[in-house]
Copies of this chain bind each other. A is one copy, B any other.
Amino acid sequence: MRNPVHQPHLDDFDRKILAILQRDNMTPQRTIGDAVNLSAPAVQRRIKRMREEGVIRADVSIIEPQAVGQSITIFVEVEVISETAEQIEQAKSEFAAAAEIQQCYYVTGEADFILVIIVPSMADYEALTRRLFFGNNNVKRFRTFVAMDRVKVGLGVPVG
């Protein structure tokens, strides 16, 4: 997979295929072909190309966290003290390495990082804060938001 996504030319077929795949990537290519008016091989070639170009990043099963005992979703805004390139890179790799951190973004605004964390219990979250925030002397402060309802969860993007 090529890493930088320059400006891959995606036509209408590609976009329709993507729309289907990001809803259900187990859809048979023949079915996709019927939906977009293309033969199965044509669909397959386009999918293969988009994978190689990095348009399609991954193909995954989405697991219900509750089913595996990870029932609490938490947002954290983290503000750091020093924002040198080195310190930021350090924080990024630390956050990226934590299994409990499902998503991590480096942002502008009143915080530096926003984290999405999944844990089995608040006790686990508390332990995590000790390890990740109190145990890191470049963290100035952090603010916690506990999710009561995961209203809409996904990684779908508008393609049309």
Q: Which residues of A approach B to under 8 Å, CB–CB?
A: 5, 8, 10, 15, 18, 21-26, 50, 53-68, 70, 73, 75, 77, 92, 95-96, 99-111, 113-114, 118, 143-159
User: Do A57 and B62 contact each other (CB < 8 Å), given the known contacts A96-B151, A96-B152, A152-B96?
Assistant: yes
The listed residue (B18, B92, B107, B158) touching A61 by CB distance below 8 A is: B18
User: Do A159 and B68 contact each other (CB < 8 Å), given the known contacts A104-B151, A107-B75, A148-B107?
Assistant: yes
List the number of copies, as a whole number: 2
A-B contact pairs, 13 of them (CB 8 A): A8-B67, A24-B58, A53-B67, A57-B64, A60-B62, A63-B156, A65-B157, A70-B158, A75-B105, A104-B151, A106-B149, A108-B146, A155-B155
Q: Which B residue sits closest to A120, measured CB to CB?
A: B158
Chain B residues with Cβ under 8 A from A100's Cβ? 158
User: Do A61 and B58 contact each other (CB < 8 Å), given the known contacts A92-B149, A109-B143?
Assistant: yes
The listed residue (B50, B104, B111, B159) touching A152 by CB distance below 8 A is: B104
The answer to whether A61 and B109 have CB atoms under 8 Å apart is: no
The listed residue (B15, B63, B155, B158) touching A157 by CB distance below 8 A is: B63
Closest CB in chain B relative to A140 CB, distance in Å = 16
The answer to whether A56 and B60 have CB atoms under 8 Å apart is: no
Q: Which B residue sits closest to A25, measured CB to CB?
A: B61
The distance in angstroms between the C-alpha atoms of A158 and B99, with both chains bound, is: 6
The distance in angstroms between the C-alpha atoms of A158 and B98, with both chains bound, is: 10
Q: Which B residue sits closest to A155, measured CB to CB?
A: B62
